[in-house]
Amino acid sequence: MKVLLWYLLAVNVLTFIMFNLDKWFATTGGWRISERTLILSCLFGGALGGYLGMRYAHHKTRKAFFSLGVPALGVIQLVLFFWILI
């Protein structure tokens, strides 16, 4: 169980950083993180970090796939996490 918690913490922190870096790269005209990579990081347990990153950086909030999909993934991941705990 501890390993799962550490994994989830790490992937969510990493996803949060990725969303914020991509926003910074977008505003400075630099290299970008692909949408596929952002979504995959959310799929692999980082939906909460992705959602918080979207809200904090105001990034990808106009895209329906992100603004609806990432919170939906978060709910699914939360239900699965509590199901595993039981």
Q: Number of folded domains in the chain?
A: 1
pLDDT at 55 > cutoff 90: yes
Helix, coil or strand: residue 34: coil
Computed over every residue of the chain, the mean pLDDT equals 93
Q: What is the mean pLDDT of residues 15-39?
A: 94
Alpha helices in 1-86 (DSSP H): 2-28, 35-41, 47-57, 64-85
pLDDT band at 83 (very low <50, low <70, confident <90, very high): very high
Number of other CB atoms surrounding residue 47 within 10 Å: 25
Domain residues for 30? Answer: 2-85
pLDDT at 14 > cutoff 90: yes
For residues 30 and 58, give the distance between their C-alpha atoms in angstroms, rounded to a whole number.
18
